[in-house]
């Protein structure tokens, strides 16, 4: 097991190098660079950049050098000094910008995860056990609806209803007075007050698909002989379900951890933008749109690293949860 | 120059009487005199309290001996906050427009004249090479340190001319390829000297890009400057930056970069100062009043009236509409002034408790069509360079239909040049070839050798190929231009000219222009209110704007070293513009410009559709002293010159 983990960790190094290079190339692929985008964005508001300044910006950011040189500067900075560079746009260190947003992103993602699993698992089990009952059809219908509605649309509709009909404040994660206030109990309460709308929106689509997965897995397991045996031995129905088929049916959930981690950064971008949530997603999109090389590059690198780590963790967890995998 | 009255701290009563003698605003004042008199202190209550407690110097000391007196419509009351919206990225100018407009001089409301601002008055020598600015005695930075001629000299000589900080000095300070010099005469007098006449200098100083002289406070900035601090390398290292200019920029910003609003410690001359900065992760920006702000109203009340500004940052600008309708924005035009939004915003005026303000478009032309007269393909170049071809295209366009359908009837057929009502309005330049006459257009095209047609009725070029070209347009920036071009495509198909509406991404648009790869492009044509500041459509002046002949503009800006040599008419206009720029006398300058406009009208390089359509903004009903209409421009960075510091909430 230990050997397995070490080998996997060592493999990550070349993967990350290749990925970082690809990421850098991809970000540079669109025509123009940060300065062109900057000029064009300002032009959209009728604003003009001084010609001398524009040329100088390109030189100052090293955008006039060949791409491979830019990449080399960037990657050596990271590897040798742990320096992710300065965001072109904000003139702030990239690492600071990213970490600033990670805390709330974590809160949002884990609340969503808990809500999703908390709703999806029981319902999935229930609809598998009561297969083809009225309740099963009802749940199935609802979950297909949830799958079919794009989350940003749901966000827009909820925001409209909340703002126009109830006059409630929507968008953001805090009321005005708490935005930059230090953390306190009142601020946490305020956060919970705002958190439920995005959590519901994000959970709806996730829940729907998880219910389907759980139901299908359970149906596979319920007819297996070991279930019948357990039942024949007189185990109560509830304990029986939880102890055997549910445990096996959980495997796919553990696998999802692999893409759960990168989702911390890139998940729910659209919903976060629509609702003005101060999470990492909008900043990532913004940096890509502005062609803010270092910020975007650091984000992409972070996402890739998280994906690699995530799949390692889920492999380890799977092995722990399911003896059959361990034995192979 | 009524705004320029000098008054001491102790003559409040008499100054009010003086003011009442003036006819303007007297009626309005008599209504407001009551509450204004009841307000004993001439400053915001919280500042008055601080001053009485001795935590802040007295008002007279803070505003100095010679504050700028703003003659306001109604004397306001203190308090309240203005709420506005910003976009999450590259929207720093949204702050600049409201707050950071404190250059040496400023524009009047009509955008025609330069008024005193930081400079109390100025003298210009006869040939417009020397400008002497007299500053205000006792004026302070927002941290209470004095603002003097030293600060301006520092900004120009130590910063703008420092080649580490600015590889080439900012262009408003440069004329004829040489940068001007700032010298200190005494504490409150500073002199700018230029190698050649630069009459436009004052106007340049009133625009946002002319703010360098008042941008960097010497006492604070010099700690980041190697000339004044030989240990600056330690600071650079401590901040984990690569070099001192990076640190300097991160701490002090520049005119239009986000970090200008990212450092709450930096002293400024603005009416409000940063409390919660505009940084990468920020969800809002908060600014609070500058206790040392150097402007007062005619009764001696220190401005600004409003306590603070809150800018909420939306990732999605569409959500600003929701904020507007639910009454959460006090004054906003940015990001919601498109024509499509107008019906929705008009309908919800009552609900949101706001009124609409009209923003006069500073552009001349809503959709300027630039045919690339220096096209790389010699055949197309020849056709585009033919004046009659362009005239025929202009006649073949049904402008009325476009205006009715795309612009809801809110415009009129137009080519280019100063807008109607501007003293330099030029009838021929503005209106020639704006009739719809497809028959005549077809005849003209026949006559210039485009008389052969293919099976679909499209004309063939002399070399037998179909006459076809693409017009570049950025749909995300100007959706209306796409609609217009679709109609133009139909109109031109009727006279046998086939075009493609080439919708492309904005960076690609610029790259194609820079490389001279475009057949044609559209852009709103500027120069309607500010013909001197943006003459790109009158001759090949702007390397990224005069899209009918980018190589000619390169020739112009490089003094004939790069690019391609333009035709005679262009060269004459380049010369005329340089003359006009050197002429201080407005009337003489107008005459020179008329000559230039005559030549432009003859050359007929750009094809226009209709007069730039006015935009609009929303303003809460209880927000007072906001003009009903004002220009919408970058050189007049609205609403800044309408003086937001004298806006106030009536309830």
Banded pLDDT at A19 (limits 50, 70, 90) = confident
Percent of chain B exceeding pLDDT 90 equals 65
Q: Is the peptide bond before B639 cis (omega within 30 degrees of 0)?
A: yes
What is the phi-psi region of residue B318: left when phi exceeds 0, alpha when psi lies from -120 to 50, beta otherwise? alpha
Interface of A with B in 56-75 (CB under 8 A): 56, 59-60
8 A C-beta contact, residue A258 and residue A314: yes
**Cα separations in angstroms, A173 against A165, A187, B84:** 20, 10, 18
- Tell me, what's the pLDDT at B228? 94
Three-class secondary structure of residue B100 per DSSP: coil
Q: Tell me the per-residue pLDDT of A103-154, one tens digit each, with 9 for 90 and over.
A: 788 888 888 888 888 888 888 888 888 888 898 999 888 888 888 888 888 8
Banded pLDDT at A328 (limits 50, 70, 90) = low
What residues contact A141, with CB distance under 8 A and at least 6 apart?
Answer: none
Least confident of B17-21, B494-498, B539-543, B545-549: B17-21
Q: What is the C-alpha separation between A288 and B525, in angstroms, rounded? A: 30
A42, A89, A273 ranked by CB distance to B316: nearest: A273
B208, B259, B511 ranked by CB distance to A90: nearest: B259
Q: Which helix (H) or strand (E) holds B192?
A: strand B189-193
Q: Tell me the per-residue pLDDT of B15-55, one tens digit each, with 9 for 90 and over.
A: 433 333 333 333 333 334 334 333 456 889 999 999 989 89
Q: Tell me the per-residue pLDDT of B214-247, one tens digit each, with 9 for 90 and over.
A: 999 999 999 999 999 999 999 998 888 888 998 9
Q: What is the C-alpha separation between B138 and B136, in angstroms, rounded? A: 6
Tokens of B385: 């360079």
Banded pLDDT at A251 (limits 50, 70, 90) = confident
CB atoms within 10 A of CB B591: 14
Q: What is the mean pLDDT of chain A?
A: 82
Q: How far is B227 from chain A (nearest CA, A)?
A: 21
Interface check for B93 against chain A (CB to CB < 8 A): the answer is yes
Nearest to B198 by CA among B214, B179, B215, B184: B179
Residue B257 has, within 13 A of its CA and on its CB side, a CA count of: 23
Predicted ipTM beyond 0.85: no
Residue B293 has pLDDT above 90, yes or no: yes
Interface check for A180 against chain B (CB to CB < 8 A): the answer is yes
CATH topology agreement for domains B3-215+254-360+615-649 and B368-608: no
B246, B315, B508 ranked by CB distance to A32: nearest: B508
Banded pLDDT at B476 (limits 50, 70, 90) = confident
- Tell me, what's the pLDDT at A150? 83
Nearest to A226 by CA among A215, A214, A240, A236: A240
State the fold for domain B3-215+254-360+615-649.
D-Maltodextrin-Binding Protein; domain 2 (3.40.190)
Mean predicted confidence (pLDDT) in A66-70: 87
Banded pLDDT at B280 (limits 50, 70, 90) = confident
Residue B182 has pLDDT above 80, yes or no: yes
Chain A interface test: which of B84, B85, B90 (most A C-beta within 10 Å): B90
Mean predicted confidence (pLDDT) in A304-311: 84
Q: Residue ranges of the domains in chain B?
A: 3-215+254-360+615-649, 368-608
Tokens of B55: 């935590």
Q: How far is B30 from chain A (nearest CA, A)?
A: 39
Question: Could you tell me which residue, B22 or A282, shows the higher pLDDT?
Answer: A282
8 A C-beta contact, residue B61 and residue B107: no
Collect all residues of chain B within an 8 Å Cβ-Cβ radius of residue A180: 276, 284, 286
- Asked if A91 lies within 8 A of B245 by C-beta distance, the reply is no
Residue B197 has pLDDT above 50, yes or no: yes
Chain B interface test: which of A28, A30, A31, A95 (most B C-beta within 10 Å): A31
Q: Tell me the per-residue pLDDT of B553-571, one tens digit each, with 9 for 90 and over.
A: 999 988 888 889 999 999 9
Just give the CATH number of B368-608: 3.10.105.10
Residue B5 has pLDDT above 60, yes or no: no
Percent of chain A exceeding pLDDT 90 equals 1
Q: Tell me the per-residue pLDDT of B114-141, one tens digit each, with 9 for 90 and over.
A: 999 999 999 999 888 999 999 999 999 9
Residue A292 has pLDDT above 90, yes or no: no
Beta bridge partners of B520: B371, B471
Interface check for B338 against chain A (CB to CB < 8 A): the answer is no
Interface of A with B in 87-146 (CB under 8 A): 87, 89-93, 97, 100-101
Q: Tell me the per-residue pLDDT of A164-206, one tens digit each, with 9 for 90 and over.
A: 777 666 667 777 777 777 778 888 888 888 888 888 888 887 7
Q: Tell me the per-residue pLDDT of B52-84, one tens digit each, with 9 for 90 and over.
A: 898 999 998 999 999 999 999 999 999 999 999
The full DSSP string for B217-273 is -HHHHGGGSTTT-TTHHHHHHHTT-SSHHHHHHHHH--TTSGGGGS-TTS---SSEE
Instruction: Give the ranges where B495-585 is alpha helix by DSSP (H).
Output: 506-514, 550-557, 568-582
- Asked if A50 lies within 8 A of B171 by C-beta distance, the reply is yes
């Amino acid at each position: 097991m230990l050997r397995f983990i070490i080998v996997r960790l060592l493999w990550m190094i070349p993967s990350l190098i290749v990925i970082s290079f690809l990421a850098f190339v991809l970000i540079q692929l669109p025509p123009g660079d940060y300065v062109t985008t900057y000029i064009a964005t300002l032009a959209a508001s009728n604003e003009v950049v001084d010609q001398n300044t524009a040329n100088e910006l390109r030189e100052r950011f090293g955008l006039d050098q060949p791409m491979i040189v830019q990449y080399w500067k960037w990657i050596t900075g990271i590897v040798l000094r742990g320096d992710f560079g300065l965001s072109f746009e904000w003139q702030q260190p990239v690492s600071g910008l990213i970490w600033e947003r990670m805390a709330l992103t974590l809160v949002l993602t884990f609340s969503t995860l808990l809500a999703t699993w908390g709703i999806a698992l029981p319902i999935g089990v229930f609809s598998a056990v009561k297969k083809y009952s009225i309740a099963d059809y009802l749940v199935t219908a609802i979950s297909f609806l949830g799958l079919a509605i794009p989350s940003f649309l749901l966000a827009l509709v909820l925001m409209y209803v909340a703002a126009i009909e109830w006059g409630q404040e929507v968008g953001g994660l805090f009321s005005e007075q708490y935005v930059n206030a230090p953390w306190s109990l009142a601020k946490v309460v305020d956060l919970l007050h705002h958190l439920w709308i995005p959590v519901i929106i994000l959970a709806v689509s996730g829940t729907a698909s998880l219910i389907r997965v759980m139901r299908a897995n359970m149906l596979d397991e319920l007819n297996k002989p070991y279930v019948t045996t357990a039942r024949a031995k007189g185990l109560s129905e509830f304990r029986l379900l939880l102890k055997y088929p549910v445990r096996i049916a959980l495997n796919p959930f553990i696998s999802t951890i692999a893409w759960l981690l990168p989702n911390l950064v890139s998940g729910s971008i659209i919903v976060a933008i629509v609702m003005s949530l101060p999470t990492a997603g909008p900043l990532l999109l913004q940096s890509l749109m502005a062609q803010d090389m270092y910020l975007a590059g650091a984000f992409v690198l972070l996402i890739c690293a998280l994906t690699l780590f995530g799949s390692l963790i889920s492999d380890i967890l799977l092995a722990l949860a399911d003896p059959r995998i361990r034995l192979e | 120059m009524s705004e320029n009255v000098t008054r001491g701290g102790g003559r409040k009563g008499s100054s009010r009487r003086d003011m009442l003698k003036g006819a303007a605003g007297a009626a309005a004042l008599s209504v407001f005199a009551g509450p204004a008199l009841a307000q004993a202190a001439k400053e915001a209550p919280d500042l008055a309290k601080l001053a009485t407690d001795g935590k802040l110097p007295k008002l007279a000391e803070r505003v100095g001996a010679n504050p700028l007196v703003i003659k306001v419509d109604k004397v306001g009351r203190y308090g309240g906050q203005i709420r506005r919206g910003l976009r999450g990225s590259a929207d720093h100018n949204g702050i600049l427009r409201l707050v950071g407009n404190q250059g040496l001089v400023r524009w009047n409301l009509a955008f025609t004249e330069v008024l005193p601002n930081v400079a109390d008055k100025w003298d210009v020598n006869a040939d417009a090479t020397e400008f002497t600015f007299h500053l205000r005695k006792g004026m302070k930075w927002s941290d209470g340190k004095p603002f003097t001629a030293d600060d301006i000299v520092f900004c120009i000589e130590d910063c703008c001319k420092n080649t580490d900080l600015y590889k080439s000095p900012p262009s408003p300070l440069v004329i004829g390829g040489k940068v001007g010099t700032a010298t200190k005469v005494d504490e409150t007098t500073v002199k700018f000297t230029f190698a050649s006449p630069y009459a436009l200098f004052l106007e340049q100083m009133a625009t946002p890009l002319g703010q360098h002289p008042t941008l960097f406070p010497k006492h604070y900035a010099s700690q980041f400057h190697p000339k004044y601090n030989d240990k600056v390398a330690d600071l650079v290292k401590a901040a984990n930056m690569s070099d001192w200019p990076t640190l300097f920029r991160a701490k002090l910003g520049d005119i239009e970069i986000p970090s200008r609003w990212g450092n709450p410690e930096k002293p400024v001359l603005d009416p409000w100062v940063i409390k919660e900065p505009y940084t990468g992760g920020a969800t809002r920006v908060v600014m609070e009043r500058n206790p040392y702000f150097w402007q007062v109203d005619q009764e001696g009340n220190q401005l600004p009236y409003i306590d603070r500004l809150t800018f909420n940052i939306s990732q999605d600008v569409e959500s600003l509409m929701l904020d507007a309708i639910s009454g959460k924005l006090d004054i906003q035009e940015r990001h919601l002034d498109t024509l499509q939004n107008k019906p929705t915003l008009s309908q919800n005026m009552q609900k949101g408790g706001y009124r609409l303000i009209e923003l006069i478009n500073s552009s001349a032309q809503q959709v300027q069509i630039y045919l690339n007269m220096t096209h790389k393909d010699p055949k197309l170049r020849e056709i585009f360079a033919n004046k009659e071809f362009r005239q025929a295209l202009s006649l073949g366009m049904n402008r009325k239909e476009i205006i009715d359908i795309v612009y809801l009837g809110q415009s009129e057929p137009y080519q280019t040049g100063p807008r109607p009502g501007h003293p330099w309005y030029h009838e021929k330049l503005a209106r020639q070839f704006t009739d719809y006459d497809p028959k005549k257009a077809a005849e003209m095209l026949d006559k210039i050798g485009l008389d052969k047609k293919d099976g679909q009725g499209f004309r063939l070029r002399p070399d037998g190929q179909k006459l076809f070209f693409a017009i570049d347009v950025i749909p995300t920036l100007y959706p209306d231009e796409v609609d217009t071009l679709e109609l133009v495509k139909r109109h031109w198909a009727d006279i046998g000219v086939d075009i493609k509406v080439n919708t492309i991404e904005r960076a690609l648009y610029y790259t194609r222009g820079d490389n001279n790869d475009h057949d044609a492009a559209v852009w709103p044509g500027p120069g309607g209110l500010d013909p001197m500041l943006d003459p790109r459509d009158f001759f090949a002046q702007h390397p990224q704007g005069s899209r009918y002949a980018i190589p000619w503009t390169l020739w112009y800006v490089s003094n004939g070293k790069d690019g391609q040599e333009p035709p005679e008419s262009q060269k004459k206009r380049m010369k005329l513009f340089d003359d006009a720029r050197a002429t201080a006398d407005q009337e003489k300058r107008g005459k020179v410009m008329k000559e230039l406009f005559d030549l432009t009208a003859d050359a007929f390089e750009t094809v226009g559709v209709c007069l730039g359509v006015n935009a609009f903004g929303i303003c809460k009903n209880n927000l007072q002293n906001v003009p009903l209409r004002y220009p919408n421009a970058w050189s007049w960075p609205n609403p800044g010159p309408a003086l937001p510091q004298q806006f106030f909430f009536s309830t």
